Amino acid sequence: MLVTNKELLDAAKAGVYAVGAFNVNNMEFVQAITTAAEELRSPVIIAVSEGAIKYAGFDYIVDLVRLAARERSIPLSLHLDHGRDMAVIDRCIGGGFTSVMIDGSHLPFEENIAVTREVVERAKPKGVSVEGELGRLAGIEDNISVEERDALLTDPVEAVEFVERTGVDSLAIAVGTSHGAYKFKGEPRLAFDRIEEIAGGISIPLVLHGASGVNQTHVALANEFGAKLAGTKGVPDDAVVRAVRLGICKVNIDTDMRIAFLAAVRQSLSEKPEGIDPRSYLGSGREAVAKVVRAKIKLFGSAGKG
Ligand code: G3H
Ligand code: 13P
Ligand code: ZN
């Protein structure tokens, strides 16, 4: 059943849990994520980036997710992740997405408000939810100054103004996480005080990007079979749980699935060098992704909520 992010996240906020937003680029990931979510009766957000649309093709990726939504009995949404191109955002709003993110986080405050408001005005009449972003996604390292820290993190006062003036349904905030497999040079550090302050000032659900844990067992397995991943570091599970308790209602995961998929495919290829059947190694990758998603759903507390 296809629903909006607003429906999923308002319920998550009321119930103090988070819904996972999992990135997809192909059929195996759509199947893995929705299978895991259905098994655990969890709502789920299928996140599609502009890069994913370019890779898979708009109609392919939309129809894959809509098919999954039809055959699964759990509520799921089709969400544009990090929308920046207005033409793509418009196509998503009119072409079956139930939610879009407008990422104006790289823009000055007033420009971010202007583009975000524009997207809200186009999306709301069509019943499509909108996620905005304020702040810079980057790690807060040990030697960072107070001024540098403040320049990166979402400002709680600005957040109130941003939400009021744009009318977004949810807000992605910067609190020390970043995208990819290399999130921290030193100890992982999230600005929990900042999450609490922002949550205290606004009533819409908050979103945590860059939340992958970068499981070192998966990294080691990928490396054992030929990958070269060194110095990877992610957000510890207990930090994610704490962030959810403080008001995070949507947690974005891509890197953890990428690494698990990579490790499984590499292992499968290496253990069957005589094999030529893509269903064998892609099937192993698909199962590895489903395993990651099951663990995340349990961590976020959304099991049984769908
Ligand atoms: O935050 C971005 C997601 O991990 C998607 O990445 O733009 O390479 O598709 P992508
Ligand atoms: P990770 O790179 O930590 O998985 O974050 C994904 C994300 O934020 C997608 O928008
Ligand atoms: Zn992101």
Q: Are 207 and 43 in contact (CB under 8 A)?
A: no
Burial of 228 (0-12, 13-18, 19+ CB in 10 A): exposed
> Which residues touch 111 (CB under 8 Å, ≥6 apart)?
104
Q: What is the pLDDT of residues 259-275, one digit of tens each?
A: 999 999 999 999 999 99
Mean pLDDT for the chain? Answer: 97
pLDDT band at 99 (very low <50, low <70, confident <90, very high): very high
Q: How far is the CA of 84 from the centre of ligand 3 (A)?
A: 12
Q: How far is the CA of 18 from the centre of ligand 2 (A)?
A: 15
The H or E element containing residue 8 is helix 5-15
Task: Please name each of the domains of the chain with its CATH number.
Answer: 5-213+230-254 (3.20.20.70)
Percentage of the chain modeled with pLDDT above 90: 94
Predicted local confidence at residue 35, as pLDDT = 98
Statement: residue 29 has pLDDT above 90: yes
User: Ligand 1 site: residues with CB under 6 angstroms?
Assistant: 23, 49, 51-52, 81-82, 179, 254
* Sign of the dihedral defined by the CA atoms of residues 137, 143, 147, 150, in that order: positive
Percentage of the chain modeled with pLDDT above 70: 100
Statement: residue 139 has pLDDT above 90: no
Residues annotated as part of the active site:
81
Ligand 2 pocket, residue 211 CB under 6 Å:
yes
pTM higher than the cut 0.75: yes
Predicted local confidence at residue 9, as pLDDT = 98
User: What torsion do the CA atoms of 254, 289, 80, 55 make, to the nearest 10 degrees?
Assistant: 90
Closest-lying ligand 1 atom to the alpha carbon of residue 254 = 4
Statement: residue 141 has pLDDT above 90: no
| pLDDT (average), residues 81-108 | 98
Q: What is the pLDDT of residues 173-225, one digit of tens each?
A: 999 999 999 999 999 999 999 999 999 999 999 999 999 999 999 999 999 99
| pLDDT (average), residues 148-160 | 92
